[in-house]
Structure 1
């Protein structure tokens, strides 16, 4: 079913914008208004580039009062959400010229993907999301939707009506589902989405979360995509799987380098791992994110890469029998749902394209859990740890010249400003207070 076949006349249109805080903002257009705004969009203050997770504004150059932009629905990405309701992401455009504003993450992703294609590289990407389901009791207390066992048939059967409705709703919306299953954590579910063009993959990520939240509410649950949802919880990830093709062939397969990669593929994987300290502030940007990124939690807490190594920040997936050439990919494990998916795919494209243009050192493959290595072994193999705080992560992100050039200074600086505010206002609060702040923001 194509996007256009999935939509219809008389459908209202839900518009979604993911801002620098990672929060999805919404506007609803009645069916009678859609044609009128299809080209010039609807208005929104340019100050939203500085909107924080607590709905305060980070300091804005020139102040907050002046400036407006247009949110224009991406017609080619419009999908059916439900009977009577369609969905579309928006591009943030200048009010006069209708060119992308410098702080539009979706436009930055489109630009970088197009540049990579011009250079001969076509990317395929897919997110897999973990989320936590709760029942909200009449007294306001929360009850986890299941208590395991992880991956067990028991939690699946308990949640089967909701999971089956979720599956069908995703299919109706044109999202190809690879799998849905109870995850390791109590109350946790994972959804894996099939690969697509990077911008489409980010669109799918936004829409998938809307559908999850909507389906959960219909079954009496609330879904949280926060990086950590309880003090005892293991945390929710938003891992990204990425592959790249040159002349129709996957650069992560069919070569004579490590794990069967080509020179291009190895350079991409190595550079993604090498820059994890600089990019973690973008991939995992909330005041809860560091709580998830701990050794032993399979969250990719180590700066390295390895074949099927779930403790490595970048995990190489060689592909399954019969599908190796097409399915080989790398998984960036450190990402969590507080990240803006458009910035994530933009950063991955920018870093991997830059890796092809410069002779960076190649990181060795790590075959074991880095925690069992000695300090000397980790040093020899260039295995490191991620920054110890959000403030340190933002310092490194702010100084990274590859991302500054690729994303643009205004987009990168506004992103950093938002998360510096959040860190300064909320980073020193105890864990429970930070969870209470963010549990229902994502």
Structure 2
């Protein structure tokens, strides 16, 4: 890499480094849970390297730090991968004590072929399949999360953070500006960090839970937006830590409060015309619009294990509690799992309300796009629009992680889109996590079974 490599950095990164000496570069890649793995290297060393190595075992690691036996026929030899920087992702790490950049890397094998179970590569593969059809997918994620009091003992229940008023954050205050003001110092740092990193926030609102916020991002390229969500999770955590609280992206951190989702808005651009493929010449809804929805309805039950990847994820799907319970679709209807927001024809889009904020953003977006792609390829037709309260309908989802993984393992069409090797590794790692969970005895079991059975 040339010594003048900083001149080609994104504008925000160049502005961050203006008249400053870059000290360090964090070379990172997202693992299956979405944790940033990698190495921090001096800037002078980064300038001299075109790639670095990490063992492929980082993609076999569970959320607890254990490993799934997913290495394949050669055994657990921890073969080195070649990780190459995508310099378009270079961005500041403004919370550090020195001048540091983060750069997301792509994972390849020794023959420079993509590692099929690397999450960013999975999403790139899905996007490429759209492009082969002359289509460009566009997404806009919404991120929900809780600001909570510091929790240092896992045995203690999670509590909302204390706001500027000195009182714990209040629940049931959706869209309240006063509630947002309670978190003002944290939100100020979130805005400052985002500006330093070159990210555009479309808006921040108070959600229905105590201390629950939502950040909306501008629509764009799926890989770029997944990169931003990946970066944002770290950014938000760092902003919270500056103010003696935690940020959590658990799907259901507090039993009596709503869960946190990553709603994904989808539209598709016809690459030949540059127009929204969901809208016809007269502004009506196209066959592709209904096919995309049909694909979500048909394949999403098997994809839930990716969009709801932990045992806690399934606690979010509670009737009448701000999360869908089925895959009905409706126009401007927030009780349905698939919502078509109010919009002009050129901005027509489909909102997938199923994914939890605990999912890996690359994989959550990839599997949602994959379901829609299969609907287009197979010319599926959406069920009739649901009118009324969709909570009155029947549930469509598996009721836990084990059942969800069973459905995922059977979904060979979905595997072909994502890549069969990803499906194999993902299933093994998630089943290892699930087995770990089943070894833990919960407080509920001790309270109700210890003396009564």
Bin for the TM-score computed over the shorter chain:
0.7 to 0.9
**RMSD in angstroms over aligned alpha carbons?**
2.5
| Structure 2: distance between partners of 1:349 and 1:136 | 36
| Structure 1: distance between partners of 2:34 and 2:231 | 14
Count of matched residue positions in the alignment of Structure 1 and Structure 2: 416
Change (3 A) 1:276 1:288: same
Cα distance, 1:154 vs. partner? 2.7
| Structure 1: distance between partners of 2:315 and 2:441 | 11
Which string of whole-angstrom CA distances, capped at 9 and with x for unpartnered residues, describes residues 14-43 of structure 1? 233222234333532221221233x222x2
Aligned to 2:370: 350
| Structure 2: distance between partners of 1:389 and 1:138 | 27
Cα distance, 1:431 vs. partner? 6.6
Change (3 A) 1:177 1:299: same
TM normalised by structure 1 equals 0.87
Determine whether 1:225 maps to 2:237: no
| Structure 1: distance between partners of 2:121 and 2:317 | 29
Aligned to 2:404: 393
Aligned to 1:59: 69
Q: 1:338 aligns with which of 329, 344, 358?
A: 358
Contact 1:304 1:384 in 2 (8 A): no
Determine whether 1:290 maps to 2:299: no
| Structure 2: distance between partners of 1:187 and 1:24 | 25
SS at match of 1:122: strand
Aligned to 1:437: none
Change (3 A) 1:154 1:318: closer
SS at match of 1:424: helix
Cα distance, 1:347 vs. partner? 2.1
Cα distance, 1:2 vs. partner? 3.0
SS at match of 1:312: coil
Q: 2:100 aligns with which of 85, 93, 104?
A: 85
CA radius of gyration, larger in: 2
Aligned to 1:249: 275
Determine whether 1:44 maps to 2:54: yes
Cα distance, 1:211 vs. partner? 0.9
Cα distance, 1:166 vs. partner? 0.9
Matches for 1:97-116 after TM superposition, within 5 Å: 97-116=111-130
| Structure 2: distance between partners of 1:431 and 1:114 | 44
Aligned to 2:160: 144
| Structure 2: distance between partners of 1:23 and 1:299 | 25
Contact 2:142 2:263 in 1 (8 A): yes
| Structure 2: distance between partners of 1:255 and 1:296 | 38
SS at match of 1:144: coil
Aligned to 2:6: none
Contact 1:228 1:236 in 2 (8 A): yes
Which string of whole-angstrom CA distances, capped at 9 and with x for unpartnered residues, describes residues 127-184 of structure 1? 1111111232899976412124333233222211221221222122121111112211
Determine whether 1:313 maps to 2:337: yes
Gaps of at least 5 residues in structure 1 are: 374-382, 435-442
Contact 1:315 1:330 in 2 (8 A): yes
Determine whether 1:70 maps to 2:82: yes
Determine whether 1:414 maps to 2:425: yes
Q: 1:327 aligns with which of 344, 347, 353?
A: 347
Cα distance, 1:7 vs. partner? 5.6
| Structure 1: distance between partners of 2:352 and 2:64 | 28
Matches for 1:158-237 after TM superposition, within 5 Å: 158-237=182-261
Contact 1:253 1:318 in 2 (8 A): no
Cα distance, 1:218 vs. partner? 1.5
Contact 1:7 1:86 in 2 (8 A): no
| Structure 1: distance between partners of 2:444 and 2:45 | 41
Aligned to 1:439: none
Report which of the two has the higher share of strand: 1
Determine whether 1:371 maps to 2:391: yes
Change (3 A) 1:214 1:132: same
Change (3 A) 1:138 1:202: closer
Determine whether 1:5 maps to 2:5: no
